[in-house]
Amino acid sequence: MSDARPVSLVCCGLIGTTVTDNGMVERAYAEAIATQGVVTGTTAYARCMAGVHRSRGQSTIDVLRSLFPESQARAQAAQLAFDRSYSAAVARTGVVAMPGAELAIDKMHGTGARVCLVSGFSRRLLDLVLDTLGWSHRIDLAISADDVPRGCPWPDPMFTAMLRLGVDDVRDAVIVHGTESGVLSGHRSGAGAVVGVLTGTYTRERLRKAGATHVLGSVAELPDLLAAGSIADAPAAGARPPAGDGDPGAAAARATGENSASRVPLERRSTGL
């Protein structure tokens, strides 16, 4: 395809995109909110876990702040409990790469693209996952919730990766994620392609409504998509995704001025570095 642009940066989500979940995240949230008196079998527990499911892809501290809006101290205490719970689970069972993820990363590097992992985990927890997988030298960069002013669904993770890796044009970047929040983050950034994957908890329709230009079965299929030059045919990621009355991604975009956020020049972004 003559109008294909070279892909110089691929930003991938972590849990549910490149790393399997196995219920560890949900259990960590359950244990975290239990430290704040919210226990299983109660209405409060059901309400909190519904909020967790709606917010997948966002940083853990943002999720917990939404669950305990009346108390920053409770949210922070729950965050510490989440990190302890997830760390203990990793110590017991380890973590497992999504099938085909390692080969996909290696193939993307083979094309000259740099690979960044984006996570809503704290820096400590993200480093634990990467060290357990042996990925610290497999990727070029990893962005945690501690590294950005705002996590998904805002575009800050992509812009931070671009600044740190010296990528000049967001159209040369691709974001790959398995959650609505992650896809909406890529859409708002104006990335050349926003790829949803079905290994998370969201359907093809939900990912499309959030702004995905492509939807794949898993990240293992990404190298073939890039090799085919298919992102040249993708609609502009900064264009408004299809909106429906029940579409939370579109509602969030309307409430926050999505289009103007996508057009903020890169040099004017706060990176929190």
The string of DSSP codes covering 90-126 is HHHH---BPTTHHHHHHHHHHTT-EEEEE-SS-HHHH
Q: What is the pLDDT, as a whole number, of residue 3?
A: 61
From 43, 75, 93, give the residue that closes a domain: 93
Kindly state the tokens that stand for 258.
């999505």
Answer yes or no: do 113 and 187 share one domain.
yes
Residue 228 lies in a domain: yes
Please give the residue range of the domain that contains residue 34: 24-93
**Same domain (yes/no): 131, 167:** yes
Q: Look at residue 238 and tell me whether its pLDDT is greater than 80.
A: no
pLDDT tens digits along 71-90: 999 999 999 999 999 999 99
Q: Say yes or no to pLDDT of 169 above 60.
A: yes
How big is the CA angle at 213 (ends 212 and 216), to the nearest 5 degrees? 75
Tell me how far apart the alpha carbons of residues 86 and 48 are, in angstroms, rounded to a whole number.
18
Could you tell me which residues are beta bridge partners of residue 13? 118
- Rg, C-alpha atoms of the chain: 18
Question: Which pair of structure tokens corresponds to residue 179?
Answer: 């959650």
Q: Let me know if residue 3 belongs to a domain.
A: no
| Cβ–Cβ < 8 Å for 208, 187 | no
- How much is the pLDDT for 188? 97
Indicate if the pLDDT at residue 28 is higher than 50. Answer: yes
- Indicate if the pLDDT at residue 109 is higher than 90: yes
* 59 in a structural domain: yes
Which of 191, 187, 236, 195 is CA-nearest to residue 217?
195
* pLDDT of residue 134 exceeding 50: yes
Residue where a domain stops, chosen among 55, 77, 93: 93
Q: Which of 96, 91, 84 is nearest to 21 (CA)?
A: 96
Q: Tell whether the model's pLDDT for residue 143 goes beyond 70.
A: yes
Residue with tokens 């057009």, as numbered in its chain: 263
The residue that leads in pLDDT, 180 or 242, is 180
Residues 43 and 121 in one domain: no
